[in-house]
Amino acid sequence: MPSGGKMATKVWESALESRKIMITIISGTNRPSSRTRIIANAVQGHYQSMSVKHQLLDLAELPAEIFSPTAYEEKPGSFARFSQAILDSDGLAVVTPEYNGGFPGVLKYFVDMLKFPESFEQRPVCFVGLAAGSWGALRPVEQLQHIFGYRNAHIFPKRVFIPGVYEVLSDDGRVTSMDLSDRLGRQAQDFVAFVERIRGIKLT
Ligand SMILES: Cc1cc2nc3c(=O)[nH]c(=O)nc-3n(C[C@H](O)[C@H](O)[C@H](O)COP(=O)(O)O)c2cc1C
């Protein structure tokens, strides 16, 4: 077979491969009608257009029972769909807003409620941050990198920061900036390649 034929087979296998992975997008606040959710929807659109399996977890949909102090000891059944979604993921895309120079408390609480250590151990994760201010959620993203690093996740180094988030969204909840859309698309594409490359490799 000519070498061109071999190449075609390889590309086809790689396209199939990308359909086998599952990316979970986390909308990292429980504030109703958050811009974080709008950005998470846009991220979701990029995985959709690449035919990559994906699901979106919106922390605004966390069940009330998970906030009972007893949840540290025993997780309510209604939380299972969240915790299982993380365990079933080949990669996580965390979208976080900036709240008071950090990421939302509910996102840390969510992390604390997940199964330890298997939720993040050697699981690839990428980050998108958004803020009203000009630092574009650099602080919350870097705080999250510390935490996921502590939990032995594989941190994807290309982050997306969104400063002045009010200016890049329309009133009906769409991303109006071409530049932002490109940046989110490139991150999603490169993250899929990263996840595929390290899938199945156990470092320890
Ligand atoms: C409780 C709270 C604290 C905030 N603190 C900051 C901040 O420290 N820096 C900043 O640039 N924007 C801050 N913002 C603005 C958010 O970044 C902005 O509202 C953005 O839309 C993301 O939040 P959302 O997903 O809740 O819409 C804050 C918003 C809230 C609700």
* Span 96-113, pLDDT tens digits: 999 999 999 999 999 999
CATH number at residue 176: 3.40.50.360
Residue 7 covered by a domain: no
Please name which of 165, 132, 159, 164 lies closest in space to residue 144, comparing C-alpha atoms. 159
Rounded-to-integer distance, Cα 186 and Cα 184, Å = 6
CA of 15 relative to ligand 1 center, distance in Å: 38
Question: Is residue 2 over pLDDT 90?
Answer: no
H or E element, residue 125: strand 124-130
Residue 203 covered by a domain: no
Torsions phi, psi of 64, nearest 5? -55, -35
Q: What is the position in ligand 1's atom list of the atom closest to the CA of 33?
A: 27
In the chain, the number of structural domains is 1
* Span 69-98, pLDDT tens digits: 999 999 999 999 999 999 999 999 999 999
Residue 10 covered by a domain: no
Residue 179 covered by a domain: yes
- Boundaries of domain holding 130: 20-60+76-198
Please, how many CA atoms are within 13 Å of residue 143, restricted to the half-sphere of its CB? Answer: 18
As given in the structure block, the two tokens for residue 56 are: 């979106």
Residue 199 confidence (pLDDT): 85
Ligand 1 pocket, mutate which of 36, 99, 103, 139 (most atoms under 8 A from CB): 99
As given in the structure block, the two tokens for residue 155 are: 């941190």
Residue 136 covered by a domain: yes
* Span 122-164, pLDDT tens digits: 999 999 999 999 999 999 999 999 999 999 999 999 999 999 9
Rounded-to-integer distance, Cα 134 and Cα 19, Å = 36
